[in-house]
Amino acid sequence: MDLSISSSHLALISLIFLSFSIAISFPIHDNFLQCFSSHFPTLSTDSQLIYTPNTSSYTSILQSSIQNLRFLGPTTPKPLFIITPTNASHIQASIICSRTHGLNVRVRSGGHDYEGLSYVSFSNASFIIIDLVDFRSITVNLKEKTMWVQSGATIGEVYYKIARTNGSFGFPAGTCHTVGVGGHFGGGGLGTMMRKHGLAADNIVDAYLIDADGRIHDRKSMGEDLFWAIRGGGASSFGVILSWKIKLVDVPPTVTVFTISKTLEQGAIKLVERWQSIADKFNEDLFIRLIIQPMGGVDQRPRRLQVLFNSLYLGTVEELLPLMGKSFPELGLEKKDCLEMPWIESVLYFAGLPRGPGNSIDVLLDRGLQEKVFYKGKSDFVEKPISQIGLEGIWESLLEGGSVYMIMEPLGGRMSEISRAEIPFPYRKGYLYNIQYVVRWGESDAGEGSKEDIDWIRRLHDYLGPHVSRSPRGAYLNYRDLDLGVNEEGNSSYSRARIWGRQYFNGNFKRLALVKGVVDPTNFFRSEQSIPPLVRMERR
């Protein structure tokens, strides 16, 4: 993997812009182009690397991986340039020239940031997007049981590469196959195998990063403090991750999945109440999450809800049934409810993709399959089971809301064995499960409808306050939420960020800020929720 600037690339694309008709003409624009082009004087004029608003494909490139339609409106700030690098030197040049000429930088891999911060800047500053869509090679070392993954690759591409290389291996990451690894790994990486193997970030063993000075570091040269910070602390606050080295995990030849639906009349609330007390204590091979969602259409009245008990077991159905009979007999699982399959097919199952005879895992390579919708998300972590009365209140709220669902994922197992300070993600021993809330709406409701839906999910989040973790109330970075700490005031960026910083990272926030103060003291890599620099004052 060539990560250094060659002699022909040390200087930033002069001829490339001859094919662009640039109507925008002001110093920051022209100065950036001149700076960038000086680094690549030999690059071909037909190379597709930089897109400006005057480039015919600018809009399609910008919109290509925006997953939340909230950020496709005409009033959403647009980048001055979109850079689509194919090697490290293009990224280095983008950083150097942006820093020199006062441009903010956004780095996009899969475009799934819940608040659009990988491709939008709300600070009124001119900004560029470094879009890693062409920066996604993957190489496997079976002898080491490791894999180098460039940050623009998707989780689906990682899963596909593993399965095509050796069906005995897997990797513990998320269920949405179009999510980019750059943000997913950098924010932690919850997934169906986390009770067995931990988060995606727990299984990262090295990385290449470009810092604010354009220098490339691996784990050794960046140091253990920075390597600690980028695995779950929001890597984009510290630099641009070129690639991650991940540790593959063993998976059995057969896994078992099931999804059982229960309604209120079928005792759903009692089952959820029971699940809360036992799901984190199951055998670590067993993962059962809950999905609470409306039945039928959003406008169906009277409205009904269902709870889906959605499970992966790392073993056969014959092994699973006695385990469930002992651990969760109330669910009434039977053999007919279960499906056995290779692990890679379980990836398709949880992603809602076609599987079985006549269907190929090649579907995991399709970055365009993800449905694009208007949505707003929130999150929580739970330390004590929510009472039946509390659950009934949730149920009533969901019956009143729009197109909403809640996902509750059990922790425990390996997650409880890893120290809260091992990486920045702090929700380990003592936490039962996490909650994700998402409300969605259609294009016809994009105006007032969106405000109504967002206000509703905020009320639901407020209602849950007394029932979830407190001091601080927890939140998951990869379910980004700009509501957190929105009214916080302070004399420094650090004091203003403490509310959301402690919600995402608990006691690890200050250490993240201290690392930021060392590696990026001028706060070049910044966004509306980036880690602020905290500079330690040395005693004289």
pLDDT 10s digits, 380-393 = 999 999 999 999 99
Omega before residue 13 within 30° of 0, cis? yes
| HSE of 166, CA atoms in CB hemisphere, 13 A | 18
The pLDDT tens digits for 135-192 are 999 999 999 999 999 999 999 999 999 999 999 999 999 999 999 999 999 999 999 9
Q: Which residues contact 352 (CB under 8 A, 6 or more apart)?
A: none
360/326 Cα distance (integer angstroms): 36
Going by C-beta distance under 8 Å and a sequence separation of 6 or more, which residues neighbour residue 5?
88, 89, 92
Query: What single DSSP character describes residue 14?
Result: S
Residue with the two structure tokens 């680094």: 39
Q: What is the pLDDT of residues 433-453, one digit of tens each?
A: 999 999 998 876 665 558 889
Closest CA to 173 of 165, 162, 164: 162
Is residue 62's pLDDT more than 80? Answer: yes
Higher pLDDT, 266 or 488: 266
Mean pLDDT throughout 199-212? 98
Q: Which of the four pLDDT bands, split at 50, 70 and 90, describes residue 540?
A: very low
Contacts of 484 (CB under 8 A, 6+ apart): 475, 499, 500, 503, 504, 529
Average pLDDT over residues 416-436: 98
How far is the C-alpha of 225 from the C-alpha of 508, rounded, in Å?
A: 12
For residue 536, name the pLDDT band (cuts at 50, 70, 90): confident
pLDDT band with cut points at 50, 70 and 90 for residue 399 = confident
Per-residue pLDDT, averaged over 193-211, amounts to 98
Q: Is the pLDDT of residue 50 over 50?
A: yes
Query: At 40, is the pLDDT very low, low, confident or very high (cuts 50, 70, 90)?
Result: confident
What backbone torsions phi and psi does residue 104 show, to the nearest 5 degrees? -80, 150
Q: Please report the domains of the chain, with CATH numbers, ordered by start residue.
A: 7-134 (3.30.43.10), 138-250 (3.30.465.10), 255-341+373-479 (3.40.462.20)
- The answer on pLDDT for 124 being more than 70 is yes
- The amino acid at residue 317 is V
- Write out the two tokens for 286: 């067993």
User: Which 8-state DSSP code applies to residue 335?
Assistant: G
Average of per-residue pLDDT across 207-217 = 98
203: DSSP letter? G
Predicted confidence (pLDDT) at residue 262 exceeds the cutoff of 50: yes
Range in 39-43, 102-106, 111-115, 151-155 the model is least confident about:
39-43
Q: Which residues have CB under 8 Å from 363's CB, separation 6+?
A: 348, 353, 354, 369
Question: Amino acid letter at 376?
Answer: K
**Any idea which residues carry the catalytic annotation?**
479
Lowest mean pLDDT among 41-50, 159-168, 334-343: 41-50
C-alpha 487 chain-centroid distance: 25
Query: What is the rounded distance in angstroms from the CA atom of residue 310 to the CA atom of residue 313?
Result: 10
pLDDT category at 7 given cuts 50, 70, 90 is very low
Helix (H) or strand (E) run with residue 36 in it: helix 27-37
Given phi > 0 = left and psi -120 to 50 = alpha, else beta, which region is 140? beta
**Burial call 16-40: b when 16+ CB within 10 Å, e when fewer:** bbeebeeeeeeeebeebbebbbebb
**Pick from 19-23, 55-59, 390-394, 423-427: least confident:** 19-23
* Strands annotated E in 326-386: 338-341, 374-382
Question: Cβ(334)–Cβ(258) under 8 Å?
Answer: no
Three-point CA angle 327, 265, 280, nearest 5°: 25
Ramachandran sector of residue 182 (left: φ over 0; alpha: ψ -120 to 50; beta: rest):
alpha
